[in-house]
Amino acid sequence: MAEGFILGIIQGITEWLPVSSEGILTLVGIKIFGRSLAGSVSMAIFLHMGTFFSALIYFRKDVVKIFRPENKKILRFLVLSSLVTAAVAAPLLFFAMDYFSEISLVFIVAFVGLMLVFTGLAQFKKPETYFRNAFDLKNKDGLVAGVWQGLAVLPGISRSGFTIAVLLLRKFRDSEALRLSFLMSLPVVLGANAVLALKGFTLSLGFGSSVAALLTAFVVGFLTIGALLKISRKINFGWFAIFFGVLTLLSLLV
């Protein structure tokens, strides 16, 4: 049960920061609790359902507005980006779950560490001007953002970090990039858990501990989302992702 609470707290906090909550949860599951890669990744994806409901409540007004006629570009963007994400993420997820279990633990940890460093470096490049908003969304925005969101299914790659970064490079205002990124996450979290259910993956924890972890992720996520989103706008967490990635690589020497 304690493991469930710890994992839930980690998910509830790191989901709102561009540092790859999935990568961190996977590492904690493998290195600290001795879980398998498949079980750790499955649990990380499952816990996103907790913060899914946190984000759904927090962004409820934005979600309702999506279905208004004047916001049809946002709805089209979300549908297109979700379809592209599914096309990219599904084969990657199946590959990771089916074949990574046959690879040594050292390689897996090294891969996640390198992806965290890459995620951190990707956050340092920003455009000089921000002027686009949701009313200026184009099909290309959905295609590009969907591809990068799909790649984030791999542990160590931050979904929010990558999608926010690519939207900034597409010259969207930082506040708009942040809002669009989290709206993009809602259908993807549902889709990822549906894939896990269809694939028949089992979680690394028992039923009681899994429920406790899910509820903890929801409560902690709901309590922290406002403050952490404000902090993430002001602080470049690229350094944090790089530090955590380097620390992960150094752990291989211990």
Domain ranges of the chain: 2-251
Grade residue 105 by pLDDT with cuts at 50, 70 and 90.
low
- Check pLDDT > 60 for residue 254: no
Segment 189-240, tens digit of pLDDT:
888 888 777 766 666 677 788 899 999 999 999 999 888 777 766 666 567 6
> What is the predicted pLDDT for the residue at 32?
85
d(CA 204, CA 6): 14
Min mean pLDDT across 38-42, 137-141, 190-194 is at: 38-42
> What is the predicted pLDDT for the residue at 129?
58
d(CA 193, CA 45): 7
Q: Which residues lie closer than 8 Å to 204 by C-beta, 6 or more apart?
A: 29, 33, 35, 36, 39, 40, 42, 43
Segment 109-119, tens digit of pLDDT:
777 778 778 77
Report which of residues 85 and 39 the model is more confident about. Answer: 85
Distances (CA, A) of 105 to 35, 79, 87: 11, 37, 28
- Check pLDDT > 80 for residue 138: yes
